[in-house]
Structure 1
Amino acid sequence: MSSKILASASLESKQPIYKIEKDCLISKNADVTVAFRLELPEIFTLSREDYAQLQQAFVKAVRLLPDHCAVHKQDWFVEDKYAPGFETDRTLLSSAYERHFFERPFLNHFCYLYITKMSSERPDWGSSSGLLARRNIVPKDMLDKKVMEAFFDNVGQFLRTLESVGPTNAPYIKSHRLTSDELAGTPEKSGLLEKYFALNLSDQAQQVDLDLTNGLKVGQQFCNMFSVANLDDLPLGVESDIRYEPLSTEYTDFPISFAAPLGLLLGTSHILNQYVFLDNTQKTLKTFEQKKDRLNSLSLYSRQNSVNHEFYQQYLNEAVADKRRPARVHVNVLTWSESEDELTEVRKLVNAAFNTMNCKPRQNTVDIAALYWGGVPGNAGDFPSEETFYTFIEQSVCFWASETNYRSTGATKGIKLSDRLSGRPVQVDLSDEPMKKQIIFNRNKFILGPSGSGKSFFTNHMVRQYYEQGAHVLLVDTGNSYKGLCELKGGVYFTYEEDNPIAFNPFLVSGKLDVEKKESIKTLLQALWKKDDESVSQSEYVSLSTAVSLYYVMLEEDETIRPSFNTFYEFVKGPYSELLLAEKVREKDFDIDNFLYVLKPYYRGGEYDYLLNSPKELDLVQSPFIVFELDNIKDHPILFPVVTLIIMETFISKMRKLKGVRKMILIEEAWKALTTPGMAAYIKYLFKTVRKFFGEAIVVTQEIDDIIGNEIVKDAIINNSDTKILLDQRKFILKFDQIQSLLSLTEKEKALILSINRDNKPERGRYTEVFISLGGVVSKVYSIEVSKEEYITYTTEESEKMRLFDKFEKTGDMPTAIKLVAAELREGK
């Protein structure tokens, strides 16, 4: 450019946008632009088929646009920091979690799409013809009304085509049309135009000086630009996706979009501009025919002319035979920094990213101002034509970055997990929002993970947040995985120890005695009286039912009698025995002596007199956090069946009595609890009906064989668990095909699962990853990263648990003990 062109001028005088009217940008060349903000699919969640489907939709959408249109996709990637809210009502662990992630850096992504209609009379302009270089600008008349109406119809079809990609209830792309206020700004908020000229997407972006004397400087930011604007800079072929080596295995290819290296993976603040220009197709092909003929006539004088002639021949043949539409394309990356030294490192990153795509970027120096100006929203028509190259639409859209960051789901409910790429926390609704969108049809979950995969960390993390959001939680555990969390939350912890045996009082009734409570007591008495292979006759069932009913009538009449098995036993032995005698009930109808003899061990002075006579006035239905630890009794022929019956009765009572309250039952190490037919039948019933009572049933296991081996439960659990959660499966790699078949996992989900923990970032410290599939519709891998306070609460390492409970014993306060141990861990002790 000449020096007089670079003379100082006000931004207002050079501003390429003439006005904003009816949510449209109108340039001084009379180009009309509509602008959209797009929501793209989340990174690391798509398969090769998904990328192909996206590319086909991009092609179909662009083909809908008329000649003399420009599609400008502008992706902003801005360095940001996680800013949690520190509400006063946060719990110890939730506050520790937010502090752990405070100011966690990540790359924020905003995707904008501008579709511009240009005048059909307008010639191709070069760098020296743009608005930035011309002193006198005469705005052209607006285009014909019918032409504009047709253009807006085409734009509507364009958006509908993009938004139709993916599952109906979870489309990959969503759009929002930018309003005039969002484009031009208001007194309170900056508009997109202001933000672009300031390279600042905050709502308080302020106008800064543009220095074009030596490259480009925006305010205090030094800018670099790298572009692909020549066919010689491109690989022999482009694709919709490429293999991402860090997450691929010898069994699976993990895909990302072709342009992903220029997107979130670049790891520094930048703008990725992708342009597709649609000229007059017939005129373009006619021009190429002329060039082809001219090169043919000159081919005798130069082999290069002969080669170029062949290229034009192939291009024209493909355009005609396959009905391809020519398009001009340009891709550039704009980076900035307050330090020129930092730009050197950024330059290396950008070059490496382009090299991943097998492209050779060119650093723009002299023409950076023209390219920056062409990137102004609504000014694509001012883009210099010599910076573009011809191809077809099919190839041009391969340069569009197709992924964005993980997004939070659910307004207030859900669990906090981390973005796989940066570790930034996101809220994930695994229950309510997916149900509303009909992605899942029940809230049940199946969790599979080998020992050491982080399974207990995930379940502790999930259970804790569900409980803090008002859910009632009942856990069936083997291994004390939830002891720390239960103690912290003031829950009820049932376990068997020699000096403190497990004890209940199933005869204690909350509120009025109902039919279900009576049935559960009768079921318990039958289980204690009869063996599994013994049946209960009708007369015996009636006798038991009458005994239970009359017992509670007695309790109502004499409030001094405390409900327990002891008083029930005494009632049957005394008043009820006399009643049967008076009514002449025969021994073969109900052998009361046999009943009392078999149940005597549970009565005062018997071997198990503690089991059903707990002195604690515990109302398990109203207790929001209950843990049944079964490790010490899982093989006990008496205690285990009784405890499983108590578990069944407790959760069913919660289901039916707690209206409008979320209920969760989580069964750890399923096989230990499923060995009895009674428990297996109960779980089968539970998984099929819990949905109707705002509840969810969760089974956690280390081995898929645990479920496969139980025919009663296998189909009930798998078929009625719409949410499948898997931890690191590398230990099962040789039999993963069996797992894939049983859980009906797709090839896409297989690639996601086998990518778990393959590219963990050491700088983020200790964390693991988890795969979550919602109905097979939405599947992705998240990071499980927690604070030191959460770690010491969740840990299942024996030495670390002992360390915590030693502190608890000394202080008498679990929150204090957690804080003390967490502080020691931070100090490296």
Structure 2
Amino acid sequence: MEKQLKDLLPIMGLEQDCILSKKGDITLVFSVRLPEIFTISNEGYESLHQAFIKAIRVLPKYTIFHKQDWFTKGAYLGDFQKESSGFLDRTSERYFNERPYLEHHCYIMLTKKPEDQKPASSLFSSLIRKTIVPAQTLSEQAVQDFKDCAGQFKRLLEDCGFLQLQQLKATDISSNPHSVGLLERYLNLETNPSNKIIHDISLREQIYIGKNQLQCFTLSDATGLPAFCGSRINYDKYCTDKTKFSIGFAAPLGLLLPCNHLYNQFIFIDDGAKTIKKLESKKLRLQSLAAYSRENAIARDATNDFLNEAISEQRLPVKAHFNIIAWADNLDEQQELKNKVSSGMAQLDAVCKEETVGAPQIYWAGLPGNESDFPMNDCFDSFVPQACCFLNFETNYRDSTSPVGMRLGDRLTGKPVHVDISDEPINKGIITNRNKFILGPSGSGKSFFTNHMLRTYYEQGTHIVLVDVGHSYKGLCDLVDGYYFTYEEKNPIRFNPFYIGGSLQPDTEKKESIKTLLLALWKKDDEPFTRSEYVAVSNALQGYYEWMENENRKIGKENRPIKNTETGFVCFNSFYEYVKNDFALQLEKEGVQEKDFDLSNFLYVLRPYYKGGEFDYLLNATENFDLLEERFIVFELDNIKDHPILFPVVTIIIMEVFISKMRKLKGIRKIILIEEAWKAIAREGMAEYIKYLFKTVRKFFGEAIVVTQEVEDIISSPVVKQAIINNSDCKILLDQSKYQNKFDQIQELLGLTEKEKALVLSVNKANDPGKKYKEVFISLGGTHSKVYRTEVSKEEYYAYSTEESEKLKVHHYAERYGSIGKGIQAIVQEEKNKEDAKK
């Protein structure tokens, strides 16, 4: 016979954001923000565990603690409406569109029962009683007292630093014209608040809600519980010989259980003294029957041990029950549910019990506000510490609310996660600078990750200067139409450090950088210059720009930026001619002695950079010299990293370019990334510059990033130890499995915690074989650490790839189709056509 839900619903109404039941119960509902999975240390789990113990102990007698975790299948929906700055964004949205994952919502319900209410059982559930009459009317003072206790409960949980609780308003609990409330969502198993669809509920042989068939599995019998429980267990997939990877004790029943399910956790707090008294009576009965049955003797001893622990350690005896309500709407998955749930419980060393006859009453008691209707014969006696071990502590990775950042993948499913490792951590006080240190051996995906990170930052308006060895960023540079400086015999690298853009005269910093360059060209690394030589070079530079300005004035270009004159373009050539002619006459007129400034030696040493000299191309560029406004610049130093003349000159120019951006571009993010070239730069006397850069760049909205692949490099280099690591609050490590036997050195050097060590060594340990990706570990300030997937679309893959054959293929297709973007699209389309043909 069909019944109307309104006739059976045990909820009387909502008052002051509380659920009032027809039995006189009052229930407060909190939404809970849990810590993210795989991010909590052993100490963190214990802290969480103790927080719940303390919080539950402040609740008054006849209170029910009900924690309900919703895990429902969802799919990532790509945002195809946003204005994308490039085709890679669109391909990424298409690639991740409909990526399945488990959505998680967590609620805590605190129910205060009337003290004279009789306990419910399977035989006396409100679901099968004809009438429901309130046992007593709650006074206003009683309600306020309960709210005060709930406030203390909330404060104790939040004080541990891992949880955030927010009391639900009446509009969130009950449905309204715009959204579905918690009560209706439970009755219809609806996770989308905007879906207002009402389903039939069938409680005959099986529980059906609409097309979904429900199955109920319980931990309700002490004989089926694990012999030992705690706040955490080892997650074998991520463990190594050197480290043990921890997850919450109940995690196998949470996010690690891949199906639609509710995990209900009940703890019933009754009168402790009465409970002890009942157990004493039970012990006496068992004592009298112990001689007739070994089972009675064992039960007597267990009851006695329970009473001894309760009294000696002042434990609070409670009743507990834990159940999983899983569902599916197709037959194949329904048959798999039992296997999945029993496997999850087996990881806890617990026995899975499938409820059949009592399943409707258990489901009905899970309705928020109806906790007091739970059948108490399906509970077991326990203490609060043991009961709290079975609480779920973890949730999914969360998106950053910051507008800047990059897309990475959730470790469990690869669902896209927006991650900000620059601004949000600064604003929250997690880090004090945006500098980053990236460590990853060859083949670990290091260059792939940095390509992905830099492309994202570039599309958010960042100015990027890259110092590379190995052509890892050629594809990305071509894609964003940046400047790519490299040395080739037919097209050697060239600059114009004398160019000053729209200015009439160079500023102080420009002068200093040019003076540093000239002195570096003139003197050896171990050859100091005198004060008089420094003054002479300064005067020569000052006189040169005044001379150029006069030349402009002569040809009618007064008050215009210095560019061309009849003498020539602003460059080293015209500077050399000025020094050789006009400045030489000035020195002679002033009577400057050769011992103070040897002009002949100066001109002789710098002659190779003047026209006709061996390196006349280097400082006389006539294009690509306005680098201040160029947003993506790559300096590829592979062919000159060992050149005794070119390399020092190029590095000085690079530093001048970035410092100019750093100081002149106000309110714009600047990034300098130094790949393996940092080792050569340090050798060439640039260590002090790197130290200065890492300590100062944060003041100018900048980030300095160093990338290296060898462990020995970071251990042996004092530059890395003293400057880079100490001033890089963000540390990014890729697969370190090659170094796990000597990882202690890296851990000590980088200041990693034991939890971070376990995270690093778990990278790529259990990757999904059906997906192509690499994992990356990111530590912020040593306090916030996670492992993410670096998973991208095929188009992004070809844009970032450092494989020689793939780079050549992209280059050939770019020439054929007119641009690198069109070339990549053609490659991907060809591969798709081949795959379709095979099918």
Q: TM-score, normalised by structure 1?
A: 0.97
Q: In the alignment, is residue 218 of structure 1 matched against residue 209 of structure 2?
A: yes
Q: What are the residue-to-residue correspondences of 1:655-670 with 2, within 5 Å?
A: 655-670=662-677
Aligned to 1:645: 652
Q: In the alignment, is residue 163 of structure 1 matched against residue 158 of structure 2?
A: yes
Q: Which SS does the other structure have where 1:647 is aligned? A: helix
Aligned to 2:775: 769
Taking the aligned partners of 2:748 and 2:402, their CA distance within structure 1 comes to 35
Q: In the alignment, is residue 587 of structure 1 matched against residue 582 of structure 2?
A: no
Kindly provide the amino acid, as one letter, of the partner of residue 34 in structure 2. Answer: L
Aligned to 1:288: 279
Aligned to 2:27: 33
Task: Say whether the 8 Å CA contact 1:19–1:26 is kept in structure 2.
Answer: yes
**Which of 762, 773, 781 is the equivalent residue of 1:755?**
762
**Which of 82, 101, 108 is the equivalent residue of 1:106?**
101
Displacement after TM superposition at 1:742 (Å): 0.7
Taking the aligned partners of 1:826 and 1:398, their CA distance within structure 2 comes to 49
**Between 578-587 and 769-778, the greater mean CA deviation after superposition:** 578-587
**Which of 1, 16, 19 is the equivalent residue of 1:22?**
16
Kindly provide the amino acid, as one letter, of the partner of residue 731 in structure 2. Answer: K
**Which of 32, 39, 47 is the equivalent residue of 2:41?**
47
**Which of 350, 353, 377 is the equivalent residue of 1:386?**
377
Displacement after TM superposition at 1:173 (Å): 1.4
Displacement after TM superposition at 1:341 (Å): 4.0
Aligned to 1:443: 434
Taking the aligned partners of 1:164 and 1:776, their CA distance within structure 2 comes to 21
Task: Say whether the 8 Å CA contact 2:272–2:317 is kept in structure 1.
Answer: yes
Displacement after TM superposition at 1:600 (Å): 0.6
Kindly provide the amino acid, as one letter, of the partner of residue 55 in structure 1. Answer: H
**Which of 296, 313, 321 is the equivalent residue of 2:312?**
321
Displacement after TM superposition at 1:729 (Å): 0.4
**Which of 404, 409, 412 is the equivalent residue of 1:418?**
409
Task: Say whether the 8 Å CA contact 1:723–1:775 is kept in structure 2.
Answer: yes
Task: Say whether the 8 Å CA contact 1:792–1:818 is kept in structure 2.
Answer: yes
Taking the aligned partners of 2:436 and 2:136, their CA distance within structure 1 comes to 62
Deviation track 1:343-384 (CA, whole Å, cap 9, x = no partner) reads 111111111111111111211111111111100011111111
Aligned to 2:353: 362
**Which of 66, 81, 84 is the equivalent residue of 2:78?**
84
**Between 745-754 and 402-411, the greater mean CA deviation after superposition:** 402-411
Aligned to 2:115: 120
Displacement after TM superposition at 1:504 (Å): 0.2
**Which of 239, 243, 249 is the equivalent residue of 1:248?**
239
Aligned to 1:515: 508
Q: Which SS does the other structure have where 2:387 is aligned? A: helix
Q: In the alignment, is residue 627 of structure 1 matched against residue 630 of structure 2?
A: no
Q: In the alignment, is residue 784 of structure 1 matched against residue 790 of structure 2?
A: yes
Unaligned runs of 5+ residues in structure 2 are: 553-563
Displacement after TM superposition at 1:70 (Å): 0.6
Taking the aligned partners of 2:206 and 2:271, their CA distance within structure 1 comes to 34
Task: Say whether the 8 Å CA contact 2:470–2:636 is kept in structure 1.
Answer: yes
Q: What are the residue-to-residue correspondences of 1:339-358 with 2, within 5 Å?
A: 339-358=330-349
Taking the aligned partners of 2:261 and 2:577, their CA distance within structure 1 comes to 81
**Which of 817, 823, 828 is the equivalent residue of 2:829?**
823
Displacement after TM superposition at 1:212 (Å): 1.2
Taking the aligned partners of 2:39 and 2:358, their CA distance within structure 1 comes to 38
Kindly provide the amino acid, as one letter, of the partner of residue 693 in structure 2. Answer: L
Q: In the alignment, is residue 131 of structure 1 matched against residue 137 of structure 2?
A: no
Q: Which SS does the other structure have where 1:760 is aligned? A: coil
Aligned to 2:556: none
Distance 1:39 1:801, change over 3 A: same
Deviation track 1:425-450 (CA, whole Å, cap 9, x = no partner) reads 10110011100111111101110000
Aligned to 1:3: none
Task: Say whether the 8 Å CA contact 2:267–2:387 is kept in structure 1.
Answer: yes
Deviation track 1:15-42 (CA, whole Å, cap 9, x = no partner) reads 1111111111111111111111111111
Aligned to 1:168: none
**Between 350-359 and 630-639, the greater mean CA deviation after superposition:** 350-359
Aligned to 2:51: 57
Deviation track 1:780-826 (CA, whole Å, cap 9, x = no partner) reads 11011111111111111111101110111222211101111222344
Taking the aligned partners of 2:510 and 2:502, their CA distance within structure 1 comes to 11
Taking the aligned partners of 1:454 and 1:114, their CA distance within structure 2 comes to 45
Q: Which SS does the other structure have where 1:300 is aligned? A: helix
**Between 427-436 and 130-139, the greater mean CA deviation after superposition:** 130-139
Q: What are the residue-to-residue correspondences of 1:364-513 with 2, within 5 Å?
A: 364-512=355-503, 513=506
Task: Say whether the 8 Å CA contact 2:637–2:677 is kept in structure 1.
Answer: no
Q: Which SS does the other structure have where 1:324 is aligned? A: coil
Deviation track 1:409-461 (CA, whole Å, cap 9, x = no partner) reads 13321110000100101011001110011111110111000000000110000
**Which of 189, 192, 198 is the equivalent residue of 1:207?**
198
Deviation track 1:70-113 (CA, whole Å, cap 9, x = no partner) reads 11111111111101212233411111111111100111111111
Deviation track 1:440-495 (CA, whole Å, cap 9, x = no partner) reads 11101110000000001100000100111111111110000000000000100000
Taking the aligned partners of 2:332 and 2:404, their CA distance within structure 1 comes to 45
Deviation track 1:637-691 (CA, whole Å, cap 9, x = no partner) reads 0000001001110111111000000010111015533343532111110000111
Aligned to 1:74: 68
Displacement after TM superposition at 1:543 (Å): 1.2
**Between 754-763 and 45-54, the greater mean CA deviation after superposition:** 45-54
Task: Say whether the 8 Å CA contact 1:670–1:707 is kept in structure 2.
Answer: no
Task: Say whether the 8 Å CA contact 2:217–2:353 is kept in structure 1.
Answer: yes
Q: In the alignment, is residue 804 of structure 1 matched against residue 810 of structure 2?
A: yes
Distance 1:60 1:483, change over 3 A: same
Taking the aligned partners of 1:706 and 1:794, their CA distance within structure 2 comes to 25
Aligned to 2:519: 526
Q: TM-score, normalised by structure 2?
A: 0.96
Taking the aligned partners of 2:649 and 2:832, their CA distance within structure 1 comes to 44
Q: Which SS does the other structure have where 2:770 is aligned? A: helix
Task: Say whether the 8 Å CA contact 1:195–1:205 is kept in structure 2.
Answer: no
**Between 206-215 and 795-804, the greater mean CA deviation after superposition:** 206-215
Unaligned runs of 5+ residues in structure 1 are: 1-6, 166-170
Kindly provide the amino acid, as one letter, of the partner of residue 57 in structure 2. Answer: R
Kindly provide the amino acid, as one letter, of the partner of residue 142 in structure 2. Answer: V
Displacement after TM superposition at 1:250 (Å): 1.4
Aligned to 2:557: none
Kindly provide the amino acid, as one letter, of the partner of residue 792 in structure 1. Answer: Y
Kindly provide the amino acid, as one letter, of the partner of residue 416 in structure 2. Answer: P
Deviation track 1:21-67 (CA, whole Å, cap 9, x = no partner) reads 11111111111111111111111112222211111111111111111
Kindly provide the amino acid, as one letter, of the partner of residue 370 in structure 2. Answer: N
**Between 638-647 and 228-237, the greater mean CA deviation after superposition:** 228-237
Task: Say whether the 8 Å CA contact 2:213–2:329 is kept in structure 1.
Answer: yes
**Which of 179, 182, 188 is the equivalent residue of 1:198?**
188
Displacement after TM superposition at 1:735 (Å): 1.3
Taking the aligned partners of 1:28 and 1:392, their CA distance within structure 2 comes to 30
Aligned to 1:186: 176
Distance 1:230 1:493, change over 3 A: same
Taking the aligned partners of 2:550 and 2:14, their CA distance within structure 1 comes to 82
Kindly provide the amino acid, as one letter, of the partner of residue 68 in structure 2. Answer: Q
Kindly provide the amino acid, as one letter, of the partner of residue 764 in structure 2. Answer: N
Task: Say whether the 8 Å CA contact 2:441–2:710 is kept in structure 1.
Answer: yes
Taking the aligned partners of 1:827 and 1:260, their CA distance within structure 2 comes to 42
Q: Which SS does the other structure have where 1:296 is aligned? A: helix
Aligned to 2:577: 570
Taking the aligned partners of 1:367 and 1:386, their CA distance within structure 2 comes to 10
Q: Which SS does the other structure have where 2:233 is aligned? A: strand
Taking the aligned partners of 2:753 and 2:735, their CA distance within structure 1 comes to 17
Q: Which SS does the other structure have where 1:476 is aligned? A: strand
Task: Say whether the 8 Å CA contact 1:198–1:205 is kept in structure 2.
Answer: no
Kindly provide the amino acid, as one letter, of the partner of residue 683 in structure 2. Answer: T
Taking the aligned partners of 1:221 and 1:676, their CA distance within structure 2 comes to 68
